[in-house]
């Protein structure tokens, strides 16, 4: 009886449980701090979503688990870092317009460079190991080593301080609630990306082919679509999203370092396990859960922050092994 | 008596050839080499190198049970190694006196903890997909590092734990000279670890050549078919994972005995231990067990002599900045080598050599 109910309403029950869990910290945290933490958590969740969505789509469509996604994330941050460094005048200018211009320039540069890198990666390396999960993980792990070491060769092995456009500094004070400006920007970026992905997936022919590919790859091929071209394209988009995430994250934490991808790749894995591999909506929900939980727990019990997401992952695995929004196969 | 089946004929043939083939002499020769290393090259550097090769070869073989024989990739093998090292360090260093009893207790604790954790992880991940194992072990391994670093009151934090060996393993212990070599505690430890690793290696060989090992290979090659034949794949995979992880934790304990010091980075690190183990198993060859020896020897020897190579390059070509940079980033070279081996020699050194020998025998008739 209980089991049947669980199977039927599992997703709704989990979400309801999650909402209750996220209101629970209100007991221990004063209201205003709670709101600040919530915004921080949402911003972090959106950044993680940018990485996780790439991992998730690539897995859903291509059946490839890309361990090199963290390295692409770091590459995005470093390309943005270079753009900021070369246009230091615009970065330090006291003009919103110039600040925004350099920000968008950095985003475009990071996404294009890393998408190209992704295309090379897919064509040269990943293509050789389609169909074998084991070799995919091994080979993308090898690619991670190479990409991270290349960062060390090109940019040096040390941490670098990221100089950030002035516009992104500072807080807004709304009714005594301190709101970090950049966090709001992150949330907006995340929502825009989610909207665009959903729009493409749901409303365009390309999106329809991708969705069909997630469901049944052979059939799409039989209908005469070049699925390998699609694979390359999706890999490039995933890489571009990772680059965007990396850049946004490095502005957030004001630094870049070669190993920065590792932690976020881990977050992305936890998110796709929670949300369900292959689902974009699942990635968003999972990322928000992870971001919020991390921030609440880091405030309440600092030492447990690292473990809380793994605990959530384990609980989800126990009650819904395929994640909240299982997609396709 | 009934006609022998092809499998029986194969087995009798294999038994007949067991003690005559070249590879048997190679194995015995290798063992003898490791046995005489302290006498031939008593310098600290060589003995340490030989010891590292022995321990890593055993560790890689235990990883190979998961990767090569079960087809499951774990990023937590370094963590199990670290758990073993920490358990021994806790019991004879931080929370106990150096005594034989505590040492043995450390190994037993290590095995029990590793057993429980491996079982838990297998239950969590194998229920869904085998690839979840890679993701979940990576997550838990990172968590282990964070905990070992943050909970410094319990684990010693980043400073790590220094340990002193009891009785005959202590550095100050000495037994007098034997053929020009002073038998110190280090030498005793060397032989103790060598024998222990040999035992572990034989146990793993027995494990993979048992009927259970054959079932594991069947599951690796075709899970659905193995299931259709009535094998509970989950159970077999869980057994193999726990076995590999327990061996890894014991090797970790031995490692702690040898270096007498544990800290989060050197014992638990995904990018230190785990990376080395992956490189070794890929270079040596998956699914061979012996590949570990080749891979460990290659990697450990090249890591030991890389600084010399760098100095040599600096001496010979003082102006080739680019070359220096590349040698400084030797991991880049290993990464490229790793990818090339995965793409072109997925069977590694041992597997490729075996294929070559088999091909030559077939040509001869």
Domains of chain A: 32-319 (1.10.3470)
The reported pLDDT for the residue numbered A310 is 83
What is the distance between the alpha carbons of residues A305 and A303, in angstroms, rounded to a whole number? 6
Say what the pLDDT of residue A5 is. 60
Task: Determine the pLDDT at residue B1.
Answer: 55
Cβ neighbours of A137 (radius 10 Å): 22
pLDDT of B247 strictly over 90: yes
Q: Please name the residue of chain A whose CA is at the shortest distance from the CA of residue B326.
A: A153
For residue B182, the cross-strand partners are B177
Q: Give the model's pLDDT for residue A2.
A: 56
Does the beta-carbon distance from A125 to B339 stay under 8 Å?
yes
Under the banding of pLDDT at 50, 70 and 90, the label for residue B243 is very high
- Asked if B52 and A115 touch (Cβ cutoff 8 Å), the reply is no
Nearest residue on chain A to B134, judged by CA atoms? Answer: A137
Average pLDDT over residues A31-38: 78
**A273 in contact with B at a CB cutoff of 8 Å?**
yes
Could A133 and B130 be called an inter-chain contact, meaning their C-beta atoms sit closer than 8 Å? yes
pLDDT of residue A114: 92
Judged by average pLDDT, the poorest of A39-53, A204-218, A246-260, B244-258 is A204-218
* Residue from B220, B283, B284, B332 whose CB has the most chain A CBs within 10 Å, to mutate: B332
**A121 DSSP assignment:** I
Residue with tokens 């709670």: A34
pLDDT for position B244: 92
Q: What pairs with residue B209 in β-bridges?
A: none
Domains and CATH numbers, chain B: 44-364 (1.10.3470)
CB atoms within 10 A of CB A112: 14
SS3 A162: coil
**Most A CBs within 10 Å, among B63, B121, B135, B269, to test the A interface:** B135
Partner B contacted by A130 (CB < 8 A): no
Signed CA dihedral, B344, B347, B348, B354: sign only: negative
pLDDT in tens, A74-97: 999 999 888 888 877 776 776 777
Q: Is the dihedral of CA A180, A182, A185, A187 positive or negative?
A: negative
Cβ <8 Å between A125 and B343: yes
- Average pLDDT estimate for A200-206: 84
Query: Which residues neighbour B337 within 8 Å (Cβ) at sequence distance 6 or greater?
Result: B279, B283
Q: Predicted confidence band at B180 (pLDDT cuts at 50, 70, 90)?
A: low
Over 60: is that where the pLDDT of B161 sits? yes
DSSP three-state, residue A30: coil
* Mean pLDDT, residues B277-292 taken together: 86
> Taken in order B323, B327, B329, B334, is the CA torsion positive or negative?
positive
Nearest CA in chain A to B135: A269
**Which of B142, B278, B332 is nearest residue A266 as measured by Cβ atoms?**
B142
Is residue A129 pLDDT above 70, yes or no? yes
Look at the alpha carbons of A141, A145, A151, A156 in this order and tell me if their dihedral is positive or negative: positive
Map chain B to HEC letters: CCCCCHHHHHHHHHHHHCCCCHHHHHHHHHHHHHHHHHHHCCCHHHHHHHHHHHHHHHHHHHHHHHHHHHCCCCCCHHHHHHHHHHHHHHHHHHCCCCCHHHHHHHHHHHHHHHHHHHHHHHHHHHCCCHHHHHHHHHHHHHHHHHHHHHCHHHHCHHHCEECCCCHHHCCCCEEEEECCEEEEHHHHHHHHHHHHHHHHHHHHHHHHHCHHHHHHHHHHHCHHHHHHCCCCHHHHHHHHHHHHHHHHHHHHHHHHHHHCEECHHHHHCHHHHHHHHHHHHHHHCCCCCCHHHHHHHHHHHHHHHHHHHHHHHHHHCCCCHHHHHHHHCHHHHHHHHHHHHHHHCCCHHHHHHHHHHHHHHHHHC
Q: What residues in B contact A149, CB-CB < 8 Å? A: 329, 331-332, 335
Task: Evaluate if residue A268 carries a pLDDT over 70.
Answer: yes
CA distance A266 to chain B (A): 6
Is A263 an interface residue toward B (CB < 8 Å)? Answer: yes
pLDDT recorded at residue A3: 59
The pairing of beta strand A160-161 with beta strand A255-256: antiparallel
Least Cα distance to B141 among B47, B12, B275, B26 occurs for: B275
A196 part of contact set with chain B, CB < 8 Å: no
The pairing of beta strand B174-178 with beta strand B181-184: antiparallel
Which of B73, B125, B332 lies nearest to residue A137, judging by beta carbons?
B73
**B 250-279 near A (Cβ less than 8 A):** 270-271, 275, 278
Q: Could you tell me which chain A residue has the CA closest to the CA of B66? A: A134
Within 10 A of B109 (CB to CB), how many other CB atoms are there? 20
- How far is residue B308's CA from residue B216's CA, in Å, rounded to a whole number? 43
Block residue for tokens 């091929």 = A221
Res A11: pLDDT:
64
Does ipTM exceed 0.85?
no
> Which residues does chain B have within 8 Å of residue A270's beta carbon, measured at their own beta carbons?
139
Instruction: Tell me, rounded to whole angstroms, the distance of Cα B288 from its chain centroid.
Output: 13
Strands B161-162 and B261-262: antiparallel
For residue B179, what pLDDT is reported? 67
Residue B39: closest CA among B190, B167, B171: B190
Partners of A141 on chain B (C-beta within 8 Å) are 278
- Where residue A175 falls (left for φ over 0; alpha for ψ -120 to 50; beta otherwise) is left
A329 has pLDDT over 60: no
pLDDT of B115 over the 90 cut:
yes
B220 → chain A, closest CA residue: A134
Which of B339, B341, B347 to mutate to test binding with chain A, by most A CBs within 10 Å of its CB?
A: B339
Averaged pLDDT score across all residues of chain A: 81
CA-based nearest distance B273→chain A, Å:
14
The answer to whether the beta carbons of residues B62 and B313 sit under 8 Å apart is no
The phi, psi pair for B98, rounded to 5°, reads -70, 105
The pLDDT tens digits for B215-241 are 888 888 888 888 888 888 888 888 999
Q: How far is A55 from chain B (nearest CA, A)?
A: 12
Residue B58's pLDDT is what? 92
Distances (CA, A) of B133 to A137, B88, B136: 11, 27, 5
- Phi/psi-derived region of residue A117, left when phi > 0, alpha when psi is between -120 and 50, beta in every other case: alpha
Instruction: Tell whether the model's pLDDT for residue A327 goes beyond 70.
Output: no
| Chain B residues 109-128 within an 8 A CB cutoff of chain A | 124-125, 127-128
Asked whether the CA dihedral B27, B28, B29, B31 is positive or negative, the reply is: positive
């Amino acid at each position: 009886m209980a089991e049947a109910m669980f199977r039927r309403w599992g997703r709704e029950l989990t979400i309801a449980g999650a909402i209750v869990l996220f209101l629970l910290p209100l007991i221990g945290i004063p209201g205003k701090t709670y709101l600040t933490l919530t915004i921080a958590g949402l911003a972090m969740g959106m950044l993680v979503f940018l990485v996780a969505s790439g991992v998730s789509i690539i897995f859903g469509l291509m059946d490839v688990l890309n361990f090199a996604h963290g390295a692409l994330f770091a590459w995005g941050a470093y390309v943005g870092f270079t753009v900021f460094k070369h246009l230091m005048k615009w970065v330090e200018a006291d003009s919103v317009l110039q600040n925004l211009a350099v920000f968008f320039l950095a985003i475009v540069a990071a996404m294009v460079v890393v998408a190209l890198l992704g295309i090379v990666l897919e064509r040269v390396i990943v293509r050789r190991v389609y169909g074998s999960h084991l070799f995919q993980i091994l080979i993308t792990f090898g690619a991670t080593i190479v990409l991270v070491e290349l960062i060390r060769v090109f940019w040096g092995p040390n941490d670098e301080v990221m100089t950030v456009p002035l516009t992104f500094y500072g807080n807004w004070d709304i009714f005594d609630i301190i709101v970090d400006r950049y966090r709001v920007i992150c949330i907006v970026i995340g929502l825009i990306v989610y909207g665009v992905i959903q729009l493409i997936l749901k409303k365009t022919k390309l999106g329809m082919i991708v969705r069909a590919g997630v469901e049944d790859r052979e059939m799409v091929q039989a209908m005469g679509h070049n699925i390998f071209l699609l694979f390359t394209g999706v890999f490039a988009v995933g890489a571009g999203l990772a680059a965007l995430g990396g850049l946004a994250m490095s502005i957030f934490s004001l630094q870049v370092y070669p190993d920065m991808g590792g932690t976020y790749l881990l977050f992305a894995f936890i998110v796709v396990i929670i949300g369900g591999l292959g689902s974009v909506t699942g990635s968003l929900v999972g990322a928000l859960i992870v971001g919020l939980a991390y921030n609440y727990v880091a405030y309440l019990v600092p030492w447990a922050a690292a473990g809380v997401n793994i605990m959530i992952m384990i609980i989800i695995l126990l009650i819904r092994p395929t994640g909240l929004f299982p997609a396709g196969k | 008596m009934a006609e022998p089946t092809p499998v029986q004929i194969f087995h009798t043939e294999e038994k007949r050839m067991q003690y005559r083939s070249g590879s048997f002499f190679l194995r015995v020769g290798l063992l003898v080499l490791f046995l005489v290393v302290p006498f031939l090259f008593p310098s600290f550097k060589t003995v340490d190198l030989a010891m590292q090769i022995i321990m890593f070869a055993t560790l890689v073989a235990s990883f190979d049970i998961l990767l090569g024989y079960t087809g499951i990739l774990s990023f937590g093998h370094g963590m199990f190694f670290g758990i073993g090292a920490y358990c021994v360090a806790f019991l004879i260093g931080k929370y106990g006196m150096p005594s034989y009893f505590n040492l043995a207790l450390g190994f037993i604790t290590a095995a029990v903890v590793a057993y429980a954790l491996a079982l838990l992880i297998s239950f969590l991940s194998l229920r869904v997909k085998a690839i979840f194992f890679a993701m979940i072990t990576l997550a838990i391994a990172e968590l282990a590092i964070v905990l070992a670093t943050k909970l410094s009151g319990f684990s010693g934090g980043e400073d790590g734990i220094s340990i002193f060996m009891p009785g005959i393993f202590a550095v100050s212990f000495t037994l007098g000279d034997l053929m020009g070599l002073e038998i110190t505690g280090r030498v005793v430890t060397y032989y103790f670890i060598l024998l222990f690793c040999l035992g572990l290696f034989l146990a793993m060989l027995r494990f993979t050549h048992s009927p259970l090992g054959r079932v594991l290979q069947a599951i690796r090659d075709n899970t659905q078919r193995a299931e259709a034949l009535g094998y509970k794949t989950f159970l077999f995979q869980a057994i193999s994972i726990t076995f590999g992880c327990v061996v890894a934790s014991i090797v970790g304990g031995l490692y702690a005995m040898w270096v007498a010091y544990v800290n989060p980075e050197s014992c638990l690190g995904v990018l230190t231990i785990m990376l080395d183990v992956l490189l070794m198993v890929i270079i040596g060859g998956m699914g061979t067990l012996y590949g570990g020896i080749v891979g460990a020897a290659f990697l450990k020897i090249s890591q030991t002599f890389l600084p010399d190579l760098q100095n040599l390059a600096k001496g010979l070509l003082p102006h080739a900045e680019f070359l220096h940079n590349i040698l400084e980033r030797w991991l880049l070279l290993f990464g490229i080598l790793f990818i090339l081996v995965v793409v072109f020699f997925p069977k590694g050194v041992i597997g490729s050599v075996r294929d070559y020998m088999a091909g030559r025998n077939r040509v001869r008739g």
